[in-house]
Amino acid sequence: MNLLNRIRNFIHWESSPKPDVKLLPEIYTHLKAFRLPLILTVITMMIGSIGFVVIDDFALMDAIYQTGITFTTVGFGEIAPVSDAGRIFTITLIISGFAVFTSAIGILVSELNRGNIVAILKERRMLYNIARLKKHFVVCYHNDYTLEVTKQLKKNHIPFVVIDPREEIHAWAEEHNYPTYLKAEPHAELTMLKAHLASAKGLITLSDSMSDNIAIIASVRLFEKEHFLPRPYYVISSAESISDVEKLKKLGADTVVSPTKLTAQRVSAMAARPDMENLLEEFLYQSDNPLDMEEIVVPKYSWAVLKKLKETHIRQITNTSVIGITKKDGKFLSMPKGDVLITSECILLIIGTQKDINITKDLLRQRDKPKELKFV
């Protein structure tokens, strides 16, 4: 076993992750109807074997073989001469076997028509696909917003799972090409286990019902505490009114989007500056655009704390630009000059390629002054 583990470690072999929820017990409940035909099959084989031994003095293995080919009506014939009493017994055995097989086929057809076993097997295969996901988003409820969100997630190669309790989710998933989905109540703990929420990056709930969004946010935050997860989920929700936005944020949502407010802001921006109409689509929302924009929190222990922006030489080292700084008190400075002081836990708004932004993150997380500053 130690040698096998060494070989696995050497070739970086990783076993396929398994889902947190096992569905085999659910399949077993639907197989209970097959117990009676199986019991009758065993009893018939036992009676047939004993009958051939007693009536025609067959050897035990010959009796079992003769019973099997007779019971299954394969038509191989008699392996040894059979008396008249044995032939009557054989006819009875054939009729009994036919009755048992007929009942078993009837039960099988009935279960397949119900679709329970097939549905469980499909869901089991889906759970194994979901278990392979890492840093994915769980998107709750199918609607027009979900369609647009999942399109953007696909373009940016971000994995996701769509959850909806309605039966139509199977048709919707096939129509809109959802790679992973679940038919379940999104706020249930069992659903969160099936969605492999433990390895997810966050959750998106865009239900038209305010109560659904509240239930999901509360359930996710409770799930975090009960399972002692190392980091909180990033929860995104939607709300129509401003008061609902504040309520959802107090309940635990990190970001709450108001479609009414966003539409008003977009229309007013287009009215004020028509030439900037497609700025967001061309800059932020295009997946093939090499530039990206991200906020980076400066840790308390960072070497850059209490240094002027020009002293960090972030642009020269990482090829990114700081276009905004949010102070700890919430004050935002746009296009900061080099003399602006970087304080503890302030947020830098960085623009650049995703690779360079990641380098900037690593740079600001260092405790000691980076060696790169010597060469700038």
- Whether 362 is in a domain gets the answer yes
Integer Cα distance of 45 and 354 in angstroms: 70
> How many domains is the chain built from?
3
Same domain, 355 and 303: yes
Where does a domain end: 116, 149, 167?
A: 116
* Interval 220-275: pLDDT, tens: 888 888 877 767 888 999 887 778 888 888 888 888 888 777 667 666 666 666 66
Phi-psi region of 54 (alpha: psi -120 to 50; beta: other; left: phi over 0): alpha
161 Cβ neighbours under 8 A, 6+ residues apart? 130, 133, 136, 137, 138, 139, 180, 181, 182, 195, 196
For residues 144 and 193, membership in a common domain is answered with: yes
Same domain for 239 and 149: yes
Does the residue 20 lie in any domain?
A: no
In the chain, pLDDT over 70 holds for what percent of residues?
Answer: 82
Domain shared by 313 and 355, yes or no: yes
Q: 340 with 297, same domain?
A: yes
Nearest residue to 195 (alpha-carbon basis) of 118, 120, 134: 134
State pLDDT tens for residues 99-150.
888 888 887 777 777 767 777 778 888 888 888 888 899 999 998 888 988 9
Q: Are residues 215 and 307 in the same domain?
A: no
Same domain, 298 and 239: no
pLDDT of residue 172: 92
Domain of 344, CATH number, reads 3.30.70.1450
Are residue 304 and residue 369 in the same domain, yes or no?
Answer: yes
Query: Nearest to residue 41, comparing CAs of 85, 118, 107?
Result: 107
Residues 137 and 112 in one domain: no
- What are the CA-CA distances from residue 280 to residues 122, 184, 236, 295 (Å)? 40, 35, 20, 17
91 and 162 within one domain: no
Domain span at residue 46?
26-116
CATH of residue 99's domain is 1.10.287.70
Within a domain: residue 271? no
Answer whether residue 9 is part of any domain. Answer: no
Q: Do 247 and 353 belong to one domain?
A: no
Residue 82, pLDDT > 60, answer yes
The amino acid present at 156, given as its one-letter code, is: N
- Where a domain ends, among 207, 238, 257? 257
- pTM strictly above 0.85: no
Structure tokens at 262: 């966003």
> Cα dist. 289→147, 155, 237, 276, 372 in Å?
22, 11, 26, 17, 28
**Are 146 and 224 members of one domain?**
yes
Domain assignment present for residue 337? The answer is yes
